[in-house]
Structure 1
Amino acid sequence: MKNNTRRGELLLTITALIWGTSFVAQRVGMEYIGPFTFTATRFIIGTLSLIPVIFIMGRIHNKPKSKASNGTNKDLLIGGLACGIALFFGISFQQAGLVYTTAGKAGFITALYIVLVPLFGLFIQKKVGKSVWIGVVLAVIGLYLLCMTEGFTISKGDLIVLCGTVFWAIHILVVDHFAPKVDGLKMSFIQFFVAGILSLLVAIFAENIELSSILDSAGPILYTGIVVVGIAYTFQILGQKGTSPTVAAIILSMESVFAVISGMIILGESMSLKEIIGCVIMFIAVIIAQLPAEVETDTQAKKNVI
C-alpha cells in the first residue's frame, strides 16, 4: 500500500512538472490561433495518442478486467464524461485567461484548487487535517499578494483563470471518485475526446479556424497534445488511484512553481516584489500542507499493523 502511495505521488509530481511547462506552450500557441481552436486540436491529438497505448496495455495484460479496474462500463462512461466536462471548462477558462495574464501568474492562480478541493471535499465527507487548513490560509494570503492590486481589484486575465480553478478542483474530486473503479487509460481517452469535441464545437462558432494557422502552432499543439494531455493527464488518473484527493491537489499545485520558472526562462517574464512574496508564501503553504499529511498516513498505517 505504501509503495502504491509513493508511486502515485511520483506520477503526480511528474504531472505537475509537465503541467507547469504547458502554460508557456499555451501562450506561444495562441499567437497564431484562438484559445478554443488550440484546446480542441490538443485534446484531439491527445485522444489519438492514447489509442496505441490502450491497445498495447490490453495485449500485455490480456485480461478482460484488471484487479484495479472493478467498475462497470457505466462507471467508465459516466466518469469519462464527468471528467471531460470539468476538464473542458477548466482548460477553457485557463486558456482564455492566458491571453491577458502571464504564464507564471496563471500557474499560481490555478494552484488555488488546493483550497477548493478540501472545501468541496467536506460536502462528500472527506476530512482533512489541521495542517492542511493552515496551508489553505497561507495559500489565500499568497494568492492575494500575487493577484490583487493597490485598488483591491483583480485583472481580467487573473479573474478568468480563477474561474477555471473551480473546475480543476471538481476534476480532481471526480477523478478521485472514479479512478479506483475503472481503467485509467480508457477513462483518460473518454475525457480527452469529450473535452476535444466540446472545444471544437465552440471554436467552430466563435473562432476562425484556418489550417495554416494551426500548422504555425504545430510545436505547442503537439507538445500540449501528446505530452501534456496524453501523458500528464493520464499520469494524474493513475497517480490518484493511491493518493487522497487533498494530497493529490497539493502535489499538483506545484505546477505553479514550474510555470513561473519556465515562464521566466523561456518567455522572459518577470514579477514584482509583492508578487514574488505571494509566490513564496503559496509555495510554503504547499509544503506545510503536504508533509504532515504523509506523517499522518504513516502513523495510521502503523496503527493498522499493531
Structure 2
Amino acid sequence: MSRTQANLLLTLAAMIWGSAFVVQQIGTGNLGTISFTGARFLLGALVVLPFALRQFRRVEREERPFQRRDWFGLTVTGLVLCTAAVLQQHGILRTSVANAGFLTAVYVPLVPIIGRLFLRRRVHWSVWPASCGCLAGTYIMSGAQGLDFRLGDLWVLSSTLFWAVHVILVGIMAWRTRAPLVVATIQFLVCGLTGLVVGILVEQPTMTDFFGALYGICYVGVFSVGLAFTLQVVGQRFTPAADAAIILSSETVFAALAGFIFLDERLAAVRIAGAGLILCCILAVELLPMLGKSRPLS
C-alpha cells in the first residue's frame, strides 16, 4: 500500500469519527461511561475478529510468528485505548460537542512532541506548524468566540495524552507485527473486556441500561470502532504517527459537514475558514516533503 492510499484510509476514519461525536453524546441512555465504552469496543472486536483470525494464520505461516513481546505490546495498547476512550466519553457527556472536538485535537501536537522526546524520532519541519495550524483551525471551528469551559472539558483534555500515546503505539505495533487487523482486534478485546469488567464493578449497570443504549452501542461499535479504528491501524502501518495525527484531526471538519448535511446546521464564514485551515495543514504535511529533499529537524 502506498502512503497516499494509507492517508486516504486515515481520512475515511476521521470522517466516520466526526459523525460519531453526536451519537456518543446522546446515544448512551442511562448506561455509565465505562460500561458504554466496554460494550462498544467489544462489539467492534467481534466485527473484525473473523478477518483478524485469517490474517493471523497467514502471518504466522508466511512471515513471522507472534512473540511474547507482541502480545504484551498489544495489551498495553488496548489499556491505553480504554483509558483514553473512557476519559473522553466521560467528558463528552459533561460538555458541548464543540468543546469536546476542540480539546480532543490537543493530542495532534502532542504526538510529534512525545515522539521526539521519548523515542528520538525526527520529523519533517512541516509537521510542527501543521500541528499548531490544526489546533488553531479546530478552535476556530468550535466557535472562535471563547470556549465555555466546563468540568467535562478537564476530562476530555486529560484523554489527549493517552490518545497521543495510542497513536504512537498503534504505529509501532502495526509495523512490528505486520498484521494490522490483529492489532485492531486485540486492542479492541482488551479495551472492551476491561471496560465491561470495571464498568460492572463500579457502575453496576442493569440489562435495561444496556438495551437503552443499544442503538448507540451498535452505531459506534460497528462504525467508529470496528471500521474506523481498524482503518487507522491499517493506515498507520504506512504513515508516520505525527502525519497520521494531523490527518485524523480532520474529524472536526467532517463533524461540521455531517451537521450541515443531516441537521441543516449552517456554518458561518469564520468556521468555514477554520475548516480550510485544517485542510491546508493536512495538504502541507503531505506535499511539502515531496518538494525537495528537505533535511528533517533534529
TM-score using structure 2 length = 0.85
Aligned mate of 1:253, from 245, 249, 253: 249
Which residue in the other structure is 1:298 paired with?
Answer: 290
Give CA deviations for 1:150-205 in whole Å, capped at 9, x if unaligned: 6x973212221111111111100111112111111112121111111221233123
CA apart distance, 1:299: 4.5
CA contact (8 A) 2:53 2:182 kept: no
Moved more, 203-212 or 15-24: 203-212
Structure 1 residues 148, 197: closer, same or farther in 2, change over 3 A? Answer: farther
Q: For the residues of structure 2 that align with 1:254 and 1:8, how far apart are their CA atoms?
A: 15
CA apart distance, 1:268: 7.6
CA contact (8 A) 1:144 1:278 kept: no
Q: Trace 1:211-290 onto structure 2 (pairs within 5 A).
A: 211-263=207-259, 277=270, 280-281=273-274, 283-290=275-282
SS where residue 212 of structure 1 aligns? helix
Structure 1 residues 249, 36: closer, same or farther in 2, change over 3 A? Answer: same
Q: For the residues of structure 2 that align with 1:302 and 1:114, how far apart are their CA atoms?
A: 22
Which residue in the other structure is 2:5 paired with?
Answer: 7
Which residue in the other structure is 2:16 paired with?
Answer: 18
Alpha-carbon RMSD across the aligned residues, in angstroms, is 3.0
Q: For the residues of structure 1 that align with 2:152 and 2:125, how far apart are their CA atoms?
A: 32
Query: Which segments of 5 or more consecutive residues in structure 1 lack a partner in the other structure?
Result: none
Structure 1 residues 218, 266: closer, same or farther in 2, change over 3 A? Answer: farther
Please say if 1:113 is aligned against 2:107. Answer: yes
Q: For the residues of structure 1 that align with 2:122 and 2:285, how far apart are their CA atoms?
A: 12
Which residue in the other structure is 2:166 paired with?
Answer: 171
CA contact (8 A) 1:39 1:196 kept: yes
CA apart distance, 1:143: 5.8
Structure 1 residues 125, 230: closer, same or farther in 2, change over 3 A? Answer: same
Which residue in the other structure is 1:37 paired with?
Answer: 35
Q: For the residues of structure 1 that align with 2:265 and 2:91, how far apart are their CA atoms?
A: 16
Give CA deviations for 1:20-49 in whole Å, capped at 9, x if unaligned: 112122112223311111111111111222
Which residue in the other structure is 2:60 paired with?
Answer: 64
Which residue in the other structure is 2:180 paired with?
Answer: 184
Which residue in the other structure is 1:83 paired with?
Answer: 77
Query: Which segments of 5 or more consecutive residues in structure 2 lack a partner in the other structure?
Result: none
User: Structure 2: which amino acid aligns with 1:107?
Assistant: G
User: Structure 2: which amino acid aligns with 1:203?
Assistant: G
CA contact (8 A) 1:175 1:237 kept: yes
Q: For the residues of structure 1 that align with 2:294 and 2:16, how far apart are their CA atoms?
A: 34
Q: For the residues of structure 1 that align with 2:61 and 2:104, how far apart are their CA atoms?
A: 35
CA apart distance, 1:98: 1.1
Q: For the residues of structure 1 that align with 2:155 and 2:148, how far apart are their CA atoms?
A: 13
Which residue in the other structure is 1:204 paired with?
Answer: 200
CA apart distance, 1:232: 1.2
CA contact (8 A) 2:130 2:284 kept: no
CA contact (8 A) 2:2 2:238 kept: yes
Structure 1 residues 87, 279: closer, same or farther in 2, change over 3 A? Answer: farther
CA contact (8 A) 1:180 1:241 kept: yes
Which residue in the other structure is 2:68 paired with?
Answer: 74
Q: For the residues of structure 1 that align with 2:115 and 2:128, how far apart are their CA atoms?
A: 13
CA contact (8 A) 1:85 1:194 kept: yes
Structure 1 residues 153, 25: closer, same or farther in 2, change over 3 A? Answer: closer
CA contact (8 A) 1:107 1:260 kept: no
CA apart distance, 1:78: 2.2
CA contact (8 A) 1:108 1:279 kept: no
Q: For the residues of structure 1 that align with 2:272 and 2:29, how far apart are their CA atoms?
A: 27
CA contact (8 A) 1:110 1:256 kept: no
